[in-house]
């Protein structure tokens, strides 16, 4: 059984996503809505990590370094200027997609295992990740025209 592989993967991915939201929040603190929402969305991911603990005990986890590598390559450059916001939200969106895919894969495994507790957790976390993605997409669409076309 390889469920431990994905428990490890989602654990690290959510941790990274929580940190990334926190980092982007601080980096763009001059955008009040970005600051507030990234703080909130970071707390959602941090909460997912906390609530994963019983399943880590139940299935054990394989430690994964893959998400860290992804995060490093995404947020590799310090960014400034109005384009930076679009690029940082862009990378958050990519990270959040990684997380969402993990929850979908785990949800399938939970159903096959008839683990109702894990199934419910995966459904709830997937729904919140979906909301994170929807906010990111909305904010990216709003910011892109001004950043790419108008700003110097």
Judged by the rule CB under 8 A, the positions of this chain that interact with other proteins are 30-33, 35-37, 40-41, 82, 131-132, 134-135, 137-138, 141-142, 145-146, 149-152
In angstroms, the CA 96 to CA 13 distance is 8
| Of residues 26 and 111, the one with the C-beta less far from other proteins | 26
| Of residues 36 and 69, the one with the C-beta less far from other proteins | 36
Residue 144 Cβ, how far from other proteins at the closest point, in Å?
8
Residue 76 Cβ, how far from other proteins at the closest point, in Å?
24
Residue in the structure block whose two tokens are 């993605």: 133
| Six token digits for residue 94 | 């990519």
Task: Say how far residue 95 (Cα) sits from the centre of its chain.
Answer: 5
**Using an 8 Å Cβ cutoff, are 4 and 55 in contact?**
no
Residue 137 Cβ, how far from other proteins at the closest point, in Å?
7
| Of residues 74 and 136, the one with the C-beta less far from other proteins | 136
Residue 17 Cβ, how far from other proteins at the closest point, in Å?
15
| Of residues 72 and 131, the one with the C-beta less far from other proteins | 131
Task: Say how far residue 49 (Cα) sits from the centre of its chain.
Answer: 11
CA dihedral 51, 70, 25, 90 (to 10 degrees): -120
Residue 32 Cβ, how far from other proteins at the closest point, in Å?
4
| Of residues 36 and 53, the one with the C-beta less far from other proteins | 36
Residue in the structure block whose two tokens are 């909305």: 138
Exposure class string for 76-91: b at 16+ Cβ within 10 A, else e? eeeeeeeebbbbbbeb
């Amino acid at each position: 059984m390889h469920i431990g592989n994905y428990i490890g993967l989602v654990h690290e991915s959510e941790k990274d996503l929580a940190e990334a939201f926190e980092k982007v929040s601080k980096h763009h603190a001059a955008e009040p809505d970005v600051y507030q929402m990234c703080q909130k969305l970071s707390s959602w991911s941090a909460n997912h990590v906390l609530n994963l603990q019983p399943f880590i005990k139940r299935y054990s986890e394989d430690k994964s370094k893959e998400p860290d590598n992804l995060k490093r390559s995404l947020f590799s450059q310090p960014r400034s200027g109005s384009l930076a916001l679009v690029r940082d939200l862009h990378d958050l969106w990519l990270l959040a997609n990684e997380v969402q895919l993990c929850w979908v894969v785990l949800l399938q495994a939970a159903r096959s295992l008839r683990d109702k507790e894990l199934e419910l957790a995966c459904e709830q976390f997937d729904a919140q990740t979906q909301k994170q993605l929807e906010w990111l997409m909305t904010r990216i669409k709003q910011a892109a025209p001004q950043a790419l076309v108008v700003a110097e």
